[in-house]
A and B are shown apart, each in its own frame.
Chain A
């Protein structure tokens, strides 16, 4: 029974679904860990209880996000063996190492110190307790580094050779794998993106509360902290995105041409398309609204220069790889998805910067502009969801833009899939994960809303010597 489906398409769909869902919570957790750490640091420095309560309150959202991030991460690790066993065989020598190091170095660190942080409010001095959330935060960033080191190899394989006897990739230089330029463009971009996510979720949720005029002082100060982080992070994510773009033109020109909807070469000077209708079957652009020079500025930071289109790149890739992979390969990447993903990312970046600046101005000390400009609070509130769209768009470009490779130039997606897994098994797991993720997603939203609705009142009213229990309201006591 194959229900007209192939294991390849089902395994790809599953990878997309699990990665996108997992990566809702990864950047949210990385971002919130940093913001909570900053809030608690302000408390330690200023000795202002409000910031302690702020760290505890936003910590609740962080813990929800962290829990879902952890459990969906296990699927990610198991999935390489379950659905992509031939990938695991081919790449194990290189891919396994960063994965194991990630667990050993980062996962133990974040999971141990998050436990100490959650349950240690009454057992440690403020400074030591604050160190726990910083160690958790650093753990989440180290984790990102190692998993992106693995991803970077798939984008740009370095420090390896192909073993002639086994046909498998084999690591020759760990240093080269870690120093992969792809990683050092990708990592800061992803981390800044995570900080943006955390910032705008805090600011957006705070805006919801301010619309109802609840705990105004508490939520306005939350907005201040988060938008300062958000503004710096937005500058970082756009800057690193720009550097990464110029790197991709050199290393994966097909990916870049697709994000710009270029089928024919642009010619010099190159215009940037802001709206385009594509015919992906005939590989051509129907019509496009262009802004002159902008593509050259994006690509080369100059006002002239040609950008190669997908049609020419397709021919070049055929010339380069036909001997090894045959003439039937399709080197065109999913054009429309990449084109629109890039625009979602770019527009989000611009909006975040603008909103952070306006927000910090409206929210400045001594002014209550932010409370009177309700439209702005609505904009900020809606921005709670925007970073997730931008993050997902980024991964669509990165991963789909690598098509048809799973490891660029070395292994095709079709050769990576588990040969022994049946369509029925894959269909079952897809349905199970889909139901599970839908359920978890709904519970996350309901619980985040409930946490916000309940607000920080229980924290603000608590006396200093009452023990703080992350799981409830003093349901137990220590002997």
Chain B
């Protein structure tokens, strides 16, 4: 494995981390439209908290996909063709929620608004759930042949482990969204988000324990990389403790940063476990390795130069746009 291949494996992980940190609270806010918010004015406010940002947040996913294509086409080809039906459902979820905010604002009837609110809420939930499911199934190991083609059956990616993975990711996103709403609103919404987060954090603790146990039995993480895996699992629990502390002590920034970092921790945990593979096969000989999956050194070098020169500029205006809309919203 060359240094550039290693760097791009990290970069793809960074892009997925950025996606889950940012779109994580988008998904949570989306789910809140039909749970936390209880009247039209509240739903307006909840949607407005992510109004200027959700589109740019989703670009992190598109960039992660593009970067995967540009650095590890074998990975991209196997992953996307292999998890075909999950990705189809993810696309439907992302499409419905992507148009929902704009379409809802043009509706003249309560029924019309109600439809697009459900589209946003269900789309957000299923996108988070299915991504969690897909990544969990990915590290468990799938039937992959020597050509790199995955031919999985329903139970290969729909099983107890992947469902727990999906639930855990969607719950993390929901809490991350509640923490974001606590930061961005005032009054009853802010108070209710706090109130709802408290019991949910205890559910999350339980979920993390179950997930860690299933991780032990379903993957080779603990046998191949016991130390780093253990550190990352402990870090996940510590971050959840910090977030819970932030909830009970009402430290809004602490909860938000901790819930975001726990999503990143999950991505790091999965990527750490994947390394030095990009796809885990049931039959270890067919696992796809970083060293075999990548593009030529020429293209990797080119992409490195371009990305590292563009990324800082992009980050400046991206962060600036958050600063511009920093103010809290009230209904």
Taking Cβ atoms with an 8 Å cutoff, the residues of A that contact B are 63-64, 67-68, 70-75, 77-78, 80-83, 85-86, 88-89, 91-97, 99-105, 107-109, 111-116, 118-120, 123, 163, 170-172, 174, 418-421, 425, 428-429, 432, 436, 440, 443, 447, 450-451, 470-472, 475-479
Contacts and interface: CB of A to CB of B under 8 A. Distances in A.
A425 B69 contact: no
Interface of B: 40-41, 44-45, 47-48, 51-53, 55-56, 58-59, 61-63, 65-74, 76-82, 84-85, 87-88, 91-92, 94-95, 98-99, 101-106, 108, 145, 147-151, 186, 295-296, 298-299, 302-303, 306-307, 310-311, 314, 317-318, 321, 324-325, 327-331
A470 B106 CA distance: 10
A464 to B, nearest CB: 21
A471 B318 contact: no
Contact of B321 (A63, A116, A472): A116
Nearest to A418: B81
B44 A107 contact: no
B99 A71 contact: yes
Contacts of B84: 82, 421, 425, 429
Nearest to B80: A81
Given A85-B77, A103-B66, A479-B327, 16 more contacts: A67-B101, A81-B77, A82-B81, A92-B295, A94-B299, A96-B71, A96-B73, A96-B295, A100-B71, A105-B314, A113-B317, A114-B55, A123-B324, A420-B150, A476-B44, A479-B330
A162 B67 CA distance: 22
Contacts of A174: 302
Nearest to A470: B105
Nearest to B116: A443
Chain A contact residues, majority secondary structure: helix
B105 A119 contact: no
A24 to B, nearest CB: 14
A419 B302 CA distance: 30
Nearest to B98: A71
Contact of B65 (A67, A78, A108): A78
Most A CB contacts (10 A, CB to CB) among B65, B106, B317, B318 go to: B106
Nearest to B186: A479
A88 B92 contact: no
Given A71-B94, A85-B77, A471-B101, A171 B307 contact: no
A97 to B, nearest CB: 5
Contact of A475 (B41, B72, B85, B101): B41
B102 A63 contact: yes
A186 to B, nearest CB: 21
B79 A170 contact: no
Nearest to A105: B310
A32 to B, nearest CB: 14
Contacts of A170: 296, 298-299
A209 B47 CA distance: 32
A460 to B, nearest CB: 19
A49 B213 CA distance: 64
Contacts of B78: 85
The 10 closest A-B pairs by CB, nearest first: A92-B73, A81-B80, A96-B70, A115-B52, A96-B69, A100-B66, A85-B77, A420-B149, A100-B70, A71-B98
B82 to A, nearest CB: 7
